[in-house]
Amino acid sequence: MRGENRKRPDIVLYVNGLALGVLELKRSTVSVNEGIRQNLDNQKSVFIRHFFHTMQLVMAGNDTEGIRYATIQTEEKYYLKWKEESGNNFDHLLEKHLSQLCRKDRFLELIQDFTLFDAGRKKVCRPHQYFGVKAAQRRMLDRDGGIIWHCQGSGKSLTMVWLAKWIREHIDNSRVLIITDRDELDKQIVGVFGDAGEEMTRARSGADLIEKLNRNEHPLLCSLIHKFGRREEVEFDDFIEEIRRSLPPDFKAKGEVFVFVDECHRTQSGKLHDAMKTILPNSVFVGFTGTPLLKKGQEEEH
């Protein structure tokens, strides 16, 4: 490649004539980090920055460490290692990672469904995000809810974005409602979706939420849990009955509604869960939590 200085990438993956992947290879005795730094240098204006204009996956690898991957302009410390069980035997870890990351269907899927811009910075999913979303996709098609466990710093908000985008693209007339229990979380979710190019509409009040659910004009909604009621747990029997009396006679949430509940261990058990199901009886609920549920809580969840 000719830029201000000449560079020759080791392997380039082309799709319909477009360079979408690049892999720098090193000897088994040379750290993969050397290949990562070489990729970063190549993206500088003094080398071949223009070559990376179409690039989606930027990789470096060797036989002993396998492959590290990222997108353009990703700092060295944020390069990722793919983790996946394999029934095949490979002589080298590099071969295993190539078969998992770069096979045609997986490579194109990572670009289409698992790459986005977050506040102007391009990002690709981590393995646990990929497999979490893939498992959820199958359940969404069956209209079956569930819980996605995550740990702090695992990229939960981006997991929500990828799953919500997939639902809207693959399920007709679908809408996604995200429920949080804190105002700062509500604002954070709106910000993350906005940074990814997805416009999120916030419900200003309980009445506003019902109105928006009753009109299929906002495919992405978010609301605080207290919009479903401001009562204490002991009063939720009366609250549920009050909802039934106060909802408009013709109320039915329009569209195929999928409800994401953030920090669901704090809100989705017992009567509060019943209140939400009263308003949205035909919706699919997906909980996000990093806190294991007790057996009693699991029973109440269902």
Q: Each residue of 104-120: pLDDT tens digit?
A: 999 999 999 999 998 88
Residue of 151, 213, 144, 139 lying closest to 176 (CA atoms): 213
Class of domain 129-301: alpha beta
Q: Mention every residue, 6+ apart, whose C-beta is less than 8 A from residue 137.
A: 163, 166, 170
Domain 11-113 shares a fold with domain 129-301:
no
**CATH node for 11-113:** 3.90.1570.50
Predicted confidence at residue 278, as pLDDT, reads 78
> Tens digits of per-residue pLDDT, 33-61?
999 999 999 999 999 999 999 999 999 99
**Calpha distance 284→33 (Å, rounded):** 43
Positions of the chain with pLDDT lower than 70, given as ranges? 1-4, 225-246, 265-272, 291-302
Of 70, 66, 81, 79, nearest in space to 28 by CA: 66
- Cβ atoms within 10 A of the Cβ of 153, count? 7
Question: What pLDDT sits at residue 4?
Answer: 63
pLDDT of residue 228: 56
Tokens representing residue 79 in the block: 């390069």
What was the pLDDT predicted at 265? 54
State residue 154's pLDDT score. Answer: 83
pTM above 0.85, yes or no: yes
pLDDT at 298: 47
Q: Would you state the structure tokens that stand for residue 19, as one six-digit string?
A: 């360079």
CA 40, chain centre distance (Å): 26
Q: How far apart are alpha carbons 197 and 177 in whole angstroms?
A: 17
Ranges of each domain in the chain: 11-113, 129-301
CA–CA gap between residue 197 and residue 117 (Å, rounded)? 8
